[in-house]
Structure 1
Amino acid sequence: LSHILDTENRHTNITILLWYWPFRTPYSLAGDPCREMYGIPGCHLADNRSLYSTADIVVFHHHDLKAKRQKLPLHLPRSGAQRWLWLSLEAPTNNGNLDPYAGIFNLTMSYRPDADITVPYGKLMRSEAEPGVFTVPRNKTHLACWVVSNFKKRHKRTAVYQRLKNTIPVQVYGNAVKRPLDKNALLPTISRCYFYLAFENTESPHYVTEKLWRNSFQAGAVPVVMGPPRTHYEMVAPHHSFIHVDDFESPEALGRFLTDLAKDEKRYQSYFAWHRNSTVKLFSDWRERLCNICPVYNTLPYKIYHNLTAWARG
């Protein structure tokens, strides 16, 4: 990784060209979305490749490169001022081989706090309303539930689930068990569960996805988390808002704890105390993620990732 801070060429109007839409799902760029939707002026989003030569940043979503649905335009001339940005919200173990991208990209965009532009799946916000009492959903009919689409025996979460289900009843939904939930049914279904198994498919550092922010917090279920260490969850989640699998000597011990906790209304409701003065913000709109490049653009040094693999696995 090499870098030089560009202090002489500070931009006030920045053009960000998205070479292709992530997962082939386009959003409207009509008007001035960065200013109108997110209060970020001087930030122009584009998906018209004819603007390539004048774009300050060109963004490439890695998932589509890995799936070979898209290719890098290496045949096109590239100005020295233009920066290419590698975007991935996947854990390192899911990114595949990055060696072919050595010496190509200037910026990284990821959920990781050490990325050039950090875009988390969600974050905690101070509530603008007066402090109040959060009402825990009263329609709890299941002890625990889990929505899973990627069910593989090699995942640690699979082994934990297999043992946990022998101790407590777990309602399982999702494509993996042929019980899919559409987006309108997801949160209402989870709200009927005391606990949600927010099990990530990897234990990669800082990899905390919508399983915590949306499926648990927004549904009104206490998350039982598995993924990065507890300390990484504590960096982003409210105090006393989750239960970490690693805090228990076995899945069976975890199951007994959950059973007892659900029976104690006062203790159970204490996991929702943070709602009194905080709320959750989700980052799911690609336009918002891209617009957030502009406020930090002029603080970013010009650099080249000569070994993207080493950074992604670091």
Structure 2
Amino acid sequence: MRPISLRRFIALGMICLSTVGCLVIWATEPIRRPKARPKDIYSDDILSYSFFQRPVLTSKCTRQLQFWTNSNVNGYSDDAIRFHCPGVPCEASIIANTNISTTKVSDGVVFFPEAKWSWKKMHSARPRGQKWVFFSRESPSMISPGVIPPKKYYNDSYDYIMTYRQGSDFLVEFGHYDETRPEVRADDDRNWATKKKNIVIGPAADYQFATWQRGNFIKELQEFVPIDTYEACIDSKPCTESEGFEEKVRSYKFSLALDISRCRDFITEQFFVSLASGTVPIVDGPAREDYERVGPPNSFIHVNDFTSVHELADYIKLLDGNDELYNRFFDWKKLGTVVSIKMADLFATENICPIFLRMHEDEMKIGTDVTTNRKVPDWDEWWWNSCSY
């Protein structure tokens, strides 16, 4: 039972029984409850901020984000870098360190998987309303299990997810296919095999960090087709970001874009740099559907489409000897452009601003009847079990 609304109160009127008072009619409408959301891979931990006061934001305010990392991330350090983000009235500030003292005065913390921390200490230092971001550009097989909170803190740790996986709050892309900017004219009829005197280039077979038998696959393929390997990479960068890499790859018809992990959605820069360099990537990682979702149509060869390495080698030889068939893998250039995203670009201020904007939007819900949904994945299903080891 709840009191009748003012509009209905006036419409129905009052029945006066005496000069002392009137009988007020009460409504008996049932309370409408929101429909339940369909169950998905996420569980919802609803955080109500109705007991907070709505913040008063001015142009003089600052919102600080801590990068919890010991590494040099795009120049961020103990010295705060300040900038402005569209749609955020407060100045944005980023500090990169692993100091609890910084955590205590920050509005948000981005946890990097290569760093270490104590969940108990972090929760003890966490001020009310602070947002935590789970960040990873690496697959589950390449990072420490400690980045996932223990059961005690399972559903009250991370507020936002920032990974390569579809469904993340902030998607960490290694690249994408831009269908709004064709790379070549529609009447471009060039032969893409011209000046490509080499057949296949790929990573060294003795690379130790792959989580599947990638080296054995390369060695077996080498028995049927010649494969040149990448030169030594410099400054601990990925080979694809080394100076002269793209120019070297351009002289090959095919590039082995074999990711070190076979995990859903995990498609790294090898795929996008190969496409941007003008070669046909031979891929092995997640399923074909994942590549088709982020890459150009008919632009790659998936290892799983063949019953054996020998059959794959025969197809490579067929394309090598038939320019017409080979050129079909480049029709996508008339429809769009491939963009490869380096780590430095990922942490440019314009790509970090969405985090500040999201924090601001959630902050503005404080003191209203709007609740904030904390999006917490089922870590076993969504993260650890997304790989085939």
Q: TM-score, normalised by structure 1?
A: 0.80
Q: Distance in 1 between matches of 2:312 and 2:171?
A: 33
The number of residue pairs the alignment matches comes to 302
**For residues 63-102 of structure 1, what are the alpha-carbon distances to aligned partners after superposition, in whole Å with 9 as ceiling and x for unaligned?**
233xxxx777627632221111111111111123237623
Q: How do 1:45-60 residues align onto structure 2 when only pairs under 5 Å count?
A: 45-47=93-95, 52-53=103-104, 55-60=106-111
Superposed displacement of residue 7, structure 1: 8.1
Contact 2:182 2:336 in 1 (8 A): no
Give the SS at the match of 1:115.
coil
Partner of 2:295: 237
Partner of 1:283: 341
Q: Distance in 2 between matches of 1:90 and 1:99?
A: 12
- Name which of 133, 151, 174 aligns with 2:208: 151
**For residues 122-167 of structure 1, what are the alpha-carbon distances to aligned partners after superposition, in whole Å with 9 as ceiling and x for unaligned?**
1111344686138637431210001358435862322221110000
Partner of 2:169: 116
- Name which of 261, 264, 288 aligns with 2:322: 264
Are positions 1:101 and 2:149 aligned together?
A: yes
Q: Distance in 2 between matches of 1:181 and 1:130?
A: 21
Partner of 2:304: 246
Letter in 2 for 1:162: K
Superposed displacement of residue 277, structure 1: 2.7
Superposed displacement of residue 107, structure 1: 2.2
Q: Structure 1 regions of 5+ residues with no counterpart? A: none
Contact 2:319 2:325 in 1 (8 A): yes
Partner of 2:354: 292
Contact 1:119 1:283 in 2 (8 A): no
Letter in 1 for 2:195: N
Q: Quickly say closer, same or farther: Cα 1:11–1:142, change in 2 above 3 A.
A: farther
- Name which of 51, 67, 79 aligns with 2:127: 79
Q: Distance in 2 between matches of 1:110 and 1:200?
A: 16
Contact 1:97 1:309 in 2 (8 A): no
Superposed displacement of residue 305, structure 1: 4.7
Q: Distance in 2 between matches of 1:125 and 1:131?
A: 13
Partner of 1:3: 45
Superposed displacement of residue 199, structure 1: 0.2
Are positions 1:140 and 2:202 aligned together?
A: no
Partner of 2:8: none
Give the fraction of aligned pairs with identical amino acids, expressed as a percent.
21
Superposed displacement of residue 193, structure 1: 0.7
Give the CA RMSD over aligned residues.
3.5
- Name which of 188, 191, 194 aligns with 2:247: 188
Give the SS at the match of 1:204.
coil
Contact 2:111 2:132 in 1 (8 A): yes
Letter in 2 for 1:108: I
Q: Distance in 2 between matches of 1:260 and 1:164?
A: 15
Q: Quickly say closer, same or farther: Cα 1:18–1:277, change in 2 above 3 A.
A: farther
Pair member with larger Rg: 2
Q: Distance in 2 between matches of 1:174 and 1:226?
A: 21
Contact 2:69 2:96 in 1 (8 A): no
Partner of 1:125: 178
Partner of 2:257: 198
Contact 2:276 2:340 in 1 (8 A): no
Are positions 1:92 and 2:145 aligned together?
A: no
Contact 2:211 2:261 in 1 (8 A): no
Superposed displacement of residue 282, structure 1: 2.7
Q: Distance in 2 between matches of 1:10 and 1:237?
A: 43
> For structure 1, which segment, 295-304 or 201-210, has the greater mean C-alpha deviation from structure 2 after superposition?
295-304
Q: Distance in 1 between matches of 2:315 and 2:305?
A: 11
Q: Distance in 2 between matches of 1:174 and 1:295?
A: 42
Q: Distance in 1 between matches of 2:139 and 2:104?
A: 32
Q: Distance in 2 between matches of 1:24 and 1:141?
A: 40
Give the SS at the match of 1:79.
coil
Give the SS at the match of 2:315.
helix
Q: TM-score, normalised by structure 2?
A: 0.66
Partner of 1:312: 383
